[in-house]
Chains A and B, each alone.
Chain A
Amino acid sequence: MNEEASENVAAESSVMTPSSPSRLPARGRVGILSLILTESAFFSIFVAAYAFYIGKSAAGPFPRDVLRVPVFNTVCLLSSSITIVLAVRALKSGSVRSFGLWWLLTLGLGLEFMIGTVFEWHRLIYQRGFTIATNLFGTTYYSLVGLHALHVTVGLLAILFVFVMAVLGHVDESQAERTDILSWYWHFVDAVWVVVFLTVYVVGR
């Protein structure tokens, strides 16, 4: 009975095709969206802790005393979202050189953000003596901003890897889908920065 069944099934699909590409979303896209959902849940707990402890530190320093609004860093990071879109678009239309330039610019802008953060933390820790152990503000500030910086670093490493692959000539139009998926991760990192920025430098100050 079951040989019959399998034969019937086989007869109905006379051509051996995987599920037609236009019918269902690509698994890479679903995967990256799922990852973004997961990471959002992860970040939201740190944001919640930050918000919960606003104003609750027993002793200073307080946000107003030590925080400088990182305008330039933010502009760089958010611009890198634009440059990465341009890079992917260039790759989709086949101009690998153009892609390489925009991609490098993205990397540079992201690096600037990281360097800026490093300098800021150096100032806070060594000049102001403000650390994760200082008070509740310190605890929540360093963990939230640090977690974001960690995600930026991972993103930069991935972008660097793709850049090296491009220099070695392995990146072309056929890789456009994958670089687009990677760019979604990068957009996510930028979106998280918007939330962190608002929470720490606007609401919390």
Chain B
Amino acid sequence: MAGIEQELVLVPPESDLSLPFLGKLHGWVTTVDHKRLGLMYIGGGLFFLVVAGLQAMTIRLQLVMPNAGIVPPQVFNRLLTMHGTAMVFLVGMPILTGFFNYLVPLMIGARDLAFPRLNAFGFWLWFFGALLLYFSYLGGDGLYGAGSAPDVGWFAYAPLTERAFSRGTSTDYWILSILLTTVGSTATAINLVATIISMRCEGMSLNKMPILVWMALVVSFLMMTALPPLSAAQVMLLLDRYFGAHFFDTQAGGSAVLWQHFFWIFGHPEVYILVLPAFGFASEIIPVFSRKVIFGYHVMVTATIAIGLISLSVWAHHMFAVGMTPAGNAFFATSTMLVAVPTGIKIFNWLGTIWGGKLRFRTPMLFSLAFLFQFLIAGLTGIMLAVAPWNWQLTDTYFVVAHFHYVLVGAIVFMIFAAIYYWFPKATGRMLNERLGTWHFWLFLIGFHLTFDTLHFAGLMGMPRRIYTYQPGRGLDTFNQIATLGAFFQAFAVLLLVINIVRSLRSGEPAGNDPWDAWTLEWTTTSPPPEYNFATPPEVRSRRPLWDLKHPEDPDWQYE
């Protein structure tokens, strides 16, 4: 339905059009507005996407052929550590929590988050943590010695990280920068929970919240329970390294496996923290572009809560090769396969939403449809990895690398792109260019599959992970060449996105309040919204307040 009146004059955020540059900058630096902070998180995350992406390109260049000699092993090990650490903490977490920051108050009819100053504090903690992590390249020996950037892998297994085996400060940079960003994330989680519980508008019971808001709630609980174990383990490691403690000091009777348990007690819920927001985006975007309500709202919510709870009990499936007892392995294999059930159900519900709809293949929908296929595959390779005996062959190989990139890129990054195309008009008042968007999609899709489909086979053919080179005669050459080629496609596609954003900010087509003909509260206000979001706090009667208003003869609240 395209009967929306387009406003030709855009409503600027506040009245800072006439301020000089420093004035505007001051506005952004001192803001406590959830929308600005959300955009800062997303912008920062996209910046590090490019940085960590370039690091990935370097890795792929080094691995394109045996003994390529592009970088020495020490530099390569820093690259793989920094790529992983940055992608999780400096790209995934900020972009996804940035979207929650921006959208949750708008979707529940609130004016800001519960604790705006805490919000700003969390952002700047993240920001300084990010700077500290990359400053490590300059620390230590400085650039000449490739600095002191962390080189112990993003999960930093003990005792490699103990003083004896990790001299210098690389591990310390890893610990300290992540401690900072994690405290920031935890603050955001507390903020989101308080907002969602305490600040919903009139009529919006928990039962009527958009699914994205449910995701924010569950993700926040996961953050509150899973991030502290990481911080605790890092504090313990710091005590080992500087105060002579023996938490993971195997030479003094400490346990290396204990680090693994603590890390993965964080690490596994972390991947659900990263993927549930993607599910939230899908649950908002797919219905709008199928022109149908989400199929099975209650089941979607219940499944999400089930995923959240079960995900706290599966962590040792990262440790099947560590030498746990058969009973231990059996327990974790079982719990891991159980978590596949609610996850699979969600795919069926999205399928049920599409079924019988009227699909519009705009850019957000293209990315969402690819997400469905790719997440299906990722879930299935996840089941393969849950089968502990098969895991003994697959773990620590490129099969795992392919699996988790299928989730992180194929599901999460694809949905981040979808979310950008979908909500950019709301945040800026301008549409992103649809043509560039389509090119972005197809190039990224091709590149993604060239790289990550192939890497599954490299793993099946015996290629371990985290190796800076491999020998000829192992049958790995062709797989690696194809994978590297795919990386170039992906890089170029991301470049197109960056160009699209820059151009559209200046001269994109004006969007109006509701360019997609959507149904949740954020589309009732202007694009961009005023600082106070809503002139009068809304009142809702169903899950799709705008649908009720657009279809007064057939409102949602008559059915559910």
A16 to B228, CA, bound (A): 40
Is B549 a contact partner of A8 (Cβ separation < 8 A)? Answer: yes
Chain B residues with CB below 8 A from A28, complex form: 194
A140 to B249, CA, bound (A): 13
The answer to whether the Cβ of A34 comes within 8 Å of any Cβ in the partner chain is: yes
Is B252 a contact partner of A58 (Cβ separation < 8 A)? Answer: yes
The answer to whether the Cβ of A65 comes within 8 Å of any Cβ in the partner chain is: no
Q: Main SS of the interface on chain A?
A: helix
Is B228 a contact partner of A41 (Cβ separation < 8 A)? Answer: yes
A34 to B195, CA, bound (A): 12
A200 to chain B, nearest CB (A): 16
Determine, out of A49-57, A74-82, A120-128, A190-198, the stretch whose residues face the partner at the interface: A49-57
- Chain A residues 146 to 169 lying within 8 A of chain B, measured CB to CB, are none
A84 to B419, CA, bound (A): 48
Q: How many residues of A contact B (CB 8 A)?
A: 48
Is A49 a contact partner of B202 (Cβ separation < 8 A)? Answer: no
Chain A residues with CB below 8 A from B200, complex form: 19, 24
Is B536 a contact partner of A143 (Cβ separation < 8 A)? Answer: no
Smallest Cβ-Cβ distance to A9: which chain B residue: B538
Is A5 a contact partner of B197 (Cβ separation < 8 A)? Answer: no
Is B245 a contact partner of A1 (Cβ separation < 8 A)? Answer: no
A151 to chain B, nearest CB (A): 13
A166 to B262, CA, bound (A): 43
B 236-255 binary contact with A (CB < 8 Å = 1; else 0): 10010001111100001111
The answer to whether the Cβ of B207 comes within 8 Å of any Cβ in the partner chain is: no
- Chain B residues 246 to 290 lying within 8 A of chain A, measured CB to CB, are 246-247, 252-255, 258, 262, 265
A143 to B228, CA, bound (A): 15
Chain B residues with CB below 8 A from A6, complex form: 524-525, 535
A 54-71 binary contact with B (CB < 8 Å = 1; else 0): 001110000000000000
A8 to B247, CA, bound (A): 62
Is A35 a contact partner of B539 (Cβ separation < 8 A)? Answer: no
Determine, out of B185-193, B387-395, B484-492, the stretch whose residues face the partner at the interface: B185-193
The answer to whether the Cβ of B411 comes within 8 Å of any Cβ in the partner chain is: no
Q: If A6-B524, A49-B247 touch, does A30 touch B194 (CB 8 Å cutoff)?
A: yes
Is A132 a contact partner of B199 (Cβ separation < 8 A)? Answer: no
The answer to whether the Cβ of B352 comes within 8 Å of any Cβ in the partner chain is: no
Is A30 a contact partner of B114 (Cβ separation < 8 A)? Answer: yes
A-B contact count (CB 8 A): 149
Chain A residues with CB below 8 A from B244, complex form: 131-133
A30 to B537, CA, bound (A): 22
Is A34 a contact partner of B198 (Cβ separation < 8 A)? Answer: no
Is B186 a contact partner of A9 (Cβ separation < 8 A)? Answer: no
Is A9 a contact partner of B545 (Cβ separation < 8 A)? Answer: yes
A3 to B5, CA, bound (A): 9
Can you name 26 A-B residue pairings with CB atoms under 8 Å?
A1-B5, A2-B513, A8-B549, A9-B538, A9-B549, A12-B539, A13-B539, A19-B199, A24-B200, A28-B194, A30-B114, A31-B191, A31-B193, A34-B194, A34-B220, A38-B189, A38-B224, A38-B228, A42-B228, A45-B265, A49-B247, A49-B262, A56-B253, A133-B245, A135-B252, A139-B247
The 3 A-B pairs with the shortest beta carbon distances in the complex, nearest first, are A133-B244, A45-B232, A42-B228
Q: Which residues of A contact B (CB under 8 A)?
A: 1-6, 8-10, 12-13, 16-20, 24-28, 30-31, 34-35, 37-39, 41-42, 45-46, 48-49, 52, 56-58, 131-133, 135-136, 138-140, 142-143
9 new A-B contacts, CB < 8 A, other than A5-B524, A9-B539, A143-B245, are: A1-B3, A5-B546, A10-B535, A34-B189, A41-B224, A41-B226, A133-B245, A136-B253, A143-B236
